Amino acid sequence: GAGVSQSPSNKVTEKGKDVELRCDPISGHTALYWYRQSLGQGLEFLIYFQGNSAPDKSGLPSDRFSAERTGGSVSTLTIQRTQQEDSAVYLCASSFGFAGELFFGEGSRLTVL
Amino acid sequence: GNSVTQMEGPVTLSEEAFLTINCTYTATGYPSLFWYVQYPGEGLQLLLKATKADDKGSNKGFEATYRKETTSFHLEKGSVQVSDSAVYFCALESNRDDKIIFGKGTRLHILP
């Protein structure tokens, strides 16, 4: 597609349920990032994929969070046993090369009741 | 580790005022520096960037100079418009691990 696509755009779930968020980056972009945007917290780095290298998972807040990227393209962020503090907008972005422009998706708004 | 610190908002100015949003960073190596902007109801988009010391990034009347001696990348605009109202994020990309991290963002309100 023309841009970074994320789904679902909105997700309401009950505490304790698992959720999956999907990101389809721009074709040919080697780098893919997941960030979390909460009110007053800015953009919190979660995980970074670059080509075939091992992902940088240093930003994942707990072992309930995981992400994978299949075939160097689509990525899925999984949150297990969701908690209310997981409520946020989860943003995906992709880029090509070092110092390349990051292109962001519209985000997935997660609400945990 | 690497970090980005930017002035807290919100910042409220009148139209045609001079704008400065401060950004300082801590990083190993030689990072690239960025400003991203998020207009109301829209996604983040790149505003400008600088990839080495003393470089000046500019776009839409905004400028920022990469100052290695003060580890700063302050955003400036000489005369702001109502349409500049948005949230501005300073960011860096380390040349050691390529990871891009962001500051907390500064909300800017421009009054007509």
Q: For the segment B84-112, what is each residue's pLDDT rounded down to a tens digit? A: 999 999 999 987 777 899 999 999 999 99
Return the residue of A nearest to B96 by Cα.
A98
Q: What is the mean pLDDT of chain B?
A: 94
pLDDT, tens digit, 9 for 90 and up, residues A53-81: 889 999 999 999 999 998 879 999 999 99
Q: Is B44 on the interface with A (CB under 8 A)?
A: yes
Which residues of chain A are modeled with pLDDT < 70?
A: 1, 40, 98-99
Q: Across the interface, do B102 and A35 touch by the CB < 8 Å criterion?
A: yes
pLDDT above 70 coverage of chain B, percent: 100
Nearest chain A CA: its distance from B111 CA (Å): 22
Return the residue of A nearest to B102 by Cα.
A43
**CB neighbourhood size of B17 (10 A):** 14
| Res A1: pLDDT | 54
Q: Is B36 on the interface with A (CB under 8 A)?
A: yes
Query: Six-digit token pair at B68?
Result: 């290695």
| Res A40: pLDDT | 67
